Structure 1
Amino acid sequence: MSAQLSIPSKKDSVSEEEWQLRTDLAAAYRLVALYGWDDLVFTHISARIPGDEHHFLINPYGMMFEEITASSLVRVDQDANKIDPDDFDINPAGFTIHSAIHAVREDAACVMHLHTTDGIAVSAQQEGLMPLSQQSLFALASLSYHDYEGVALREDEKARLQKDLGNANFMILRNHGLLTTGTSIADAFLAMYILQSSCEIQVRALSGNRPLTPIPGGIVDTIKQQAEQVTKGLGGKLAWPGLLRKLDRIDASFRD
């Protein structure tokens, strides 16, 4: 982390549980930057802090994802009000989508929303995500869509977003981007990795100007059980320790 930002450590001022959550969320931001999925300082990944206060962690507005640290993350309430007035400001408009989902999905401990080029490309295609790859099947088994209504600033859009998401863990926001939820930060990240990979594969397949071979629909119905077998029932937690080690080798300052 650049010393110019002078962010004091919060490690000794928060619970061990919150610090672990901060570390994992900072890692998710760094991984998004590492894989080239970030959009300058825009988009967000939010994580619910366990407890009855309904507080969340989200990125400070204006910081690049590659700069995010555990201590720089901002704790906010359901209305995007900062709990610590000394924290960096956040983008309240950016929390609109996240707060809508957290409000109705108790299982959505983490919500990840990105503006990747290939994700937006697929979101603009009338067919949406197509069953062209093994990766796409995992997303298609729990995928929903939300039509574009402009920049997500209006309070009344929340209800439509909630209805469109339903119980799905993957969402394509038409003409906008991608969204995933998870019971943990690791699960939300793995879901985004799968969805983003599916979109990249689809864009490349369509650009080949050759006949395509879709996967038969019946196979989609069996994919959830197969996913449990592939990850040994651990979901995103199977790959997460390795991803943290990868970050530690590159730059461990996300833990600050």
Structure 2
Amino acid sequence: MQNIHATEIETKEWALRVDLAAAFRLAVHFDWHESVGNHFSAAVSADGKKFLLNPKWKHFSEIRASDLLLLDADDPEVMNGPEAPDPTAWCIHGAVHAAVPNARVLLHCHPTYATALATLKDPTIKPIDQNTARFFNRIAIDLNFGGLADEAEEGQRIARAFGNQSVMMMGNHGVSVAADTVAEAFEDLYFLERAAKTLVLAYSTGQELNVMSDEIAEKTARSWEDFSEASFAHFDHLKTILDKTDPSYRE
């Protein structure tokens, strides 16, 4: 029975590795990557403290399931090992997985339009269409950027800044999205960048925004929740595209 249980755990972890590897490749497809930086992670233990993370300075376009590091947020020797992750990755993802066990998957990157909004004094995603309304009252806004997240205190501050939300606009920095699964986190990131693009383009006209009433914005945001299963359908479709072009992410 123990061997069967171990096999089930290994199977689930491998499936998680494949999904996370796909997310890296798809981030390149959508042009959300940035050099060899930015990081995605996924918890494998119930308490969230053991998690998968991309290796230091490996380009998103080449990451495979087998490349992902398995780290322990409670291990003080992680940064002293031969396969130590990027310090900023350990700072942010280690802190979040240690402090927020329900953040099973954490995607952090600097996509163009969402990051542009994050540089504004008010980076709020104003509800001007159904995509922007998806995030109405559902985003944490962190305006206390403390420089590159390479110190434990900054990682802990970022973890606290999430509050009760799963999406965070990181002022002067970028965005982070947390969810139960890779598919759900990726879908939020996908629509966050689309919403940000719409808002940035609307701002660029110089005309006054036609912002929805709070009542309509909330109604729209709640309606999105009825389509939560679409996250999995969309992500499966995107993986099918990857399988046709370069299935090496599954290795």
Q: TM-score range by the shorter chain?
A: 0.7 to 0.9
Matches within 5 A, 1:150-165: 150-165=147-162
Distance 2:231 2:61 in 1: 21
1:110 Cα deviation after fit = 0.3
1:197 Cα deviation after fit = 0.9
Structure 2 spans left out of the alignment, 5+ residues? 1-6
How many residues are paired up? 240
Distance 1:126 1:220 in 2: 22
Write the letter of the residue equivalent to 2:240.
R
Distance 1:237 1:162 in 2: 26
Alignment CA distance shift 1:52-1:145 (3 Å):
closer
Higher fraction of helix: 2
1:89 Cα deviation after fit = 3.9
Write the letter of the residue equivalent to 2:200.
V
Alignment CA distance shift 1:244-1:149 (3 Å):
same
Alignment partner, residue 189 of structure 2: 192
CA distances 1:166-186 after superposition (whole Å, capped 9, x unpaired)? 110110000100110000111
Contact 2:135–2:221 under 8 Å retained in 1: no
Distance 1:127 1:44 in 2: 25
1:53 Cα deviation after fit = 8.1
Write the letter of the residue equivalent to 1:145.
I
SS of the counterpart of 1:15?
helix
Indicate whether 1:101 and 2:112 are aligned.
no
Alignment CA distance shift 1:60-1:159 (3 Å):
closer
Distance 1:102 1:236 in 2: 22
Alignment CA distance shift 1:183-1:52 (3 Å):
closer
Question: How high is the sequence identity, in percent, across the aligned residues?
Answer: 29
SS of the counterpart of 1:156?
helix
1:82 Cα deviation after fit = 5.2
Matches within 5 A, 1:1-256: 15-51=10-46, 54-79=49-74, 88-128=83-123, 129-146=125-142, 147-231=144-228, 234=229, 236-256=231-251
Alignment CA distance shift 1:211-1:53 (3 Å):
closer
Write the letter of the residue equivalent to 1:207.
S
Write the letter of the residue equivalent to 1:155.
A
TM-score by length of 1: 0.86
Contact 1:56–1:76 under 8 Å retained in 2: yes
Distance 1:62 1:195 in 2: 25
Distance 1:215 1:52 in 2: 39
TM-score by length of 2: 0.87
1:249 Cα deviation after fit = 1.5
Structure 1 spans left out of the alignment, 5+ residues? 1-11
Contact 1:113–1:178 under 8 Å retained in 2: yes
